[in-house]
């Protein structure tokens, strides 16, 4: 590996680490922010606004990187992210915090998409699997330390410093990563393709309406808003994803479908186990974070196992990953009973994390094998979009079930159990869809969609 490649690799991994630390730290500080600014009603909006802005940005970043090279959109993203941090840190009201989170989501959209693009273009085939594993490993350290660091900063200095201390890190990442990116300009004819950014905006509005509608107390308003949002989301996402995703057609469409299912399955449980530890077991914030640390560690372990076994059939790896996710869901479900020990939950959900790690790297490598010179950003954006859609939809469903439990006689254990059941069903669907996962060249498959037409 050349010196330029090493610098680029460090910059890309630190970029992922930056996003992971910021996301985890802000979630830790958010309850205090809403308490101080009286913004309980905007708590969910703050999370959704970030995700939806990120959805649009990752499509835009991939397109702009293919058209103009990765350095310019990455620079704009870093600047936008820093501006978002400043806006949130100085916010006098919760509405301004939401604005800051929108800018932060828009800024971080480029980090993953451009990282995928550059791994494909800057590193040889035999190094790419290791690089994808390193990128995923960038989430591990923040998952371990960010809650404690953010909690301490919030208690000792105030929540505004949670945003401010990230700014120097963001500037350092930009300075380190952008210079080696300049060697990679536009390749191929992507510049003549029709822009997909308006379509991404329509998809974000549709997903946002669907997720928001699920939260409404009025059943008529909830049904109407959710239906309209679902129709919009499906129509626009169909234009962003390759044809055949809904049927998990063999090749690239099956890879994208499996990523949507995997992200939704994992986060449908991982995001709500800490809530169960809090509300059902009365655990401390530190203990709430501890119960899911095991899954972060085994996710990384699974990534490294697959990175060192590139000859493994991606279809088999993805099937095994979904099977372990399903096993993890079954094993972790007893957390819904107050008598179940949390240390057992730590071990149980580590099984699910291992499954996610085993399937994540093969799907990334398989997806990027379909990228041709000039459309690496398109393919990287589609796989990142799949992750964002899975997170947004399952987070919205789970949030709606929790909200219903708060408003009605439905108890929290039943609400979370329903969410776990949905996740288990998605894992079963993923096992079926995994049969179509192939790398480019191993079978006839639909090429990635090149436009929003």
Domains contained in the chain, CATH given: 1-186 (1.20.1250.20), 244-453 (1.20.1250.20)
Among 49-58, 270-279, 334-343, which is the least confidently predicted range? 270-279
For the stretch 408-449, pLDDT in tens is 778 888 988 998 999 999 999 999 999 999 988 754 445 555
CA dist 392 to 301, 347, 387, 420, 447, Å?
A: 26, 26, 9, 16, 26
What's the alpha-carbon Rg for the chain, to the nearest Å? 21
Higher pLDDT, 126 or 13: 13
CB atoms within 10 A of CB 282: 9
Arithmetic mean of pLDDT, 72-98:
93
Token pair for residue 49? 């606004």
Predicted local distance difference test score (pLDDT) of residue 81: 95
Predicted local distance difference test score (pLDDT) of residue 448: 59
Q: Is the pLDDT of residue 333 over 90?
A: yes
Higher pLDDT, 79 or 211: 79
Q: Are 386 and 263 in contact (CB under 8 A)?
A: yes
Arithmetic mean of pLDDT, 174-187:
82
State the pLDDT confidence band at 43, using cuts at 50, 70 and 90. Answer: low
Q: Is the pLDDT of residue 83 over 60?
A: yes
Higher pLDDT, 133 or 326: 326
Q: For the chain, what is the largest distance between any 2 Cα atoms, rounded to a whole number of angstroms?
A: 62
Predicted local distance difference test score (pLDDT) of residue 218: 83
Task: Name the average pLDDT for the chain.
Answer: 84
Predicted local distance difference test score (pLDDT) of residue 324: 97
pTM of the complete model beyond 0.85: no
Which residues are within 8 A (CB) of 306 and not within 5 positions of it... i.e. 6 or more apart? 129, 133, 312, 317, 357, 358, 361, 362
The DSSP code for 442 is S
Predicted local distance difference test score (pLDDT) of residue 347: 93
* Measured distance CA(395)–CA(443) in Å, rounded: 34
Q: Dihedral angle at the C-alpha atoms of 98, 99, 102, 107, nearest 10 degrees? A: -130
Q: What is the DSSP string of 96-129?
A: HHHHHHHHHHHHHHHHHHHHHHHHHHHS-HHHHH
Predicted local distance difference test score (pLDDT) of residue 187: 57
Higher pLDDT, 320 or 240: 320
* Measured distance CA(409)–CA(71) in Å, rounded: 53
Measure CA 340 to chain center.
30
Q: Is the pLDDT of residue 221 over 70?
A: yes
Predicted local distance difference test score (pLDDT) of residue 51: 81
Arithmetic mean of pLDDT, 294-300:
84
Q: Is the pLDDT of residue 330 over 90?
A: yes
State the pLDDT confidence band at 401, using cuts at 50, 70 and 90. Answer: confident
Arithmetic mean of pLDDT, 248-255:
93
* Measured distance CA(183)–CA(356) in Å, rounded: 34
Q: Is the pLDDT of residue 451 over 50?
A: no
* Measured distance CA(334)–CA(330) in Å, rounded: 8
């Amino acid at each position: 590996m050349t010196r330029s490649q090493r610098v680029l690799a460090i910059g890309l991994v630190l970029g992922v680490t930056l996003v992971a630390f910021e996301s985890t730290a802000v979630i830790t500080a958010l309850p205090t922010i809403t308490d101080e600014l009286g913004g309980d009603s905007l708590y969910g909006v703050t999370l959704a606004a970030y995700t939806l802005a990120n959805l649009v940005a990752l499509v835009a970043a991939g397109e702009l990187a293919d058209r103009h090279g990765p350095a310019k959109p990455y620079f704009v993203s870093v600047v936008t992210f820093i501006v978002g941090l400043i806006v949130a840190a100085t916010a006098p009201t919760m509405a301004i915090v939401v604005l800051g989170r929108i800018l932060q989501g828009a800024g971080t959209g480029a980090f993953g998409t451009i990282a995928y693009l550059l791994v494909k273009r800057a590193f040889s085939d035999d190094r790419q699997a290791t690089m994808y594993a390193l990128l995923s490993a960038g989430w591990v350290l923040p998952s371990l330390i960010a809650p404690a660091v953010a909690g301490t900063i919030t208690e000792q200095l105030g929540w505004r410093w949670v945003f401010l201390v990230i700014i120097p890190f963001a500037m350092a990442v930009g300075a380190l990563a952008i210079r080696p990116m300049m060697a990679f300009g536009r390749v191929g004819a992507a510049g003549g393709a029709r822009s997909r950014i308006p379509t991404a905006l329509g998809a974000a509005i549709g997903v946002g309406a669907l997720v928001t509608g699920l939260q409404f107390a009025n059943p008529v308003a909830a049904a109407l808003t959710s239906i309209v949002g679902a129709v919009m989301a499906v129509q626009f996402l169909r234009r962003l994803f390759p044809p055949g995703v809904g049927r998990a057609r063999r090749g690239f469409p099956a890879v994208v479908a499996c990523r949507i299912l995997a992200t939704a399955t994992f986060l449908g449980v991982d995001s709500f186990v800490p809530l169960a530890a809090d509300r059902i077991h009365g655990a401390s914030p530190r203990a709430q974070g501890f119960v899911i640390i095991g899954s972060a560690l085994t996710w990384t372990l699974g990534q490294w196992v697959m990175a060192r076994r590139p000859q493994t059939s991606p279809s088999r790896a993805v099937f095994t990953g979904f099977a372990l996710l399903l096993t993890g869901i079954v094993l972790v479900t007893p957390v819904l009973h107050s008598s179940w020990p949390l240390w057992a939950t730590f071990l149980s959900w580590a099984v699910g994390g291992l499954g996610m790690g085993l399937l994540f790297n093969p799907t990334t490598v398989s997806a990027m094998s379909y990228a041709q010179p000039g459309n690496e950003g398109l393919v990287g954006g589609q796989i990142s979009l799949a992750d964002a859609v899975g997170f947004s939809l399952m987070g919205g469903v789970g949030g709606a079930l929790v909200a219903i439990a708060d408003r009605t006689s439905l108890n929290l254990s039943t609400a979370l159990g329903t969410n776990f059941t949905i996740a288990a069903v998605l894992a079963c669907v993923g096992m079926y869809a995994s049969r179509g996962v192939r790398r480019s060249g191993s079978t006839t498959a639909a090429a990635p969609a090149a436009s929003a037409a």
